[in-house]
Amino acid sequence: GAGVSQSPSNKVTEKGKDVELRCDPISGHTALYWYRQSLGQGLEFLIYFQGNSAPDKSGLPSDRFSAERTGGSVSTLTIQRTQQEDSAVYLCASSSPQGWETQYFGPGTRLLVL
């Protein structure tokens, strides 16, 4: 597709369950970011992938959060043992090596933990 896609668009889960959120960046984009946007809150950086380099995980809030990027393209954000405070919109963005300053955002996955 032409833009960044994320799936699912909405996810409702029970507290304690694990969830996986997927991001398909724009083809050729080497940088990929995950952010969390909680209700009434700003954009919180989670993790950053750049090519084959080791990811910057400094924004992950706890060890329940992890992410991987397979083949330098698709990324999966996994939240284990979800808590109610994990409820938020999870945004993925990608950027190209030539135009790295412009991040293209996906529509987000709205996660609700009951």
Partner 1 sequence: AQSVTQPDIHITVSEGASLELRCNYSYGATPYLFWYVQSPGQGLQLLLKYFSGDTLVQGIKGFEAEFKRSQSSFNLRKPSVHWSDAAEYFCAVGARGNNDMRFGAGTRLTVKP
Residues that bind partner 1 (CB under 8 A): 30-31, 33, 35, 41-45, 48, 50, 56, 58, 91, 93, 95, 97, 100-103, 105-108
Nearer to partner 1, 67 or 82 (CB): 67
Nearer to partner 1, 70 or 102 (CB): 102
C-beta of 15: minimal distance to partner 1 in Å? 26
C-beta of 109: minimal distance to partner 1 in Å? 13
C-beta of 88: minimal distance to partner 1 in Å? 13
Listed residue (20, 30, 25) closest to 77, CA to CA? 20
C-beta of 46: minimal distance to partner 1 in Å? 11
Nearer to partner 1, 49 or 65 (CB): 49
Report whether 103 contacts 92 (CB < 8 A). no
H helix and E strand count, the chain: 0, 10
With DSSP H G I counted as helix, E B as strand and the rest as coil, what are the percentages for the chain, rounded to 5?
A: 5, 45, 45
Nearer to partner 1, 31 or 80 (CB): 31
Tokens 């029970």 belong to residue: 14
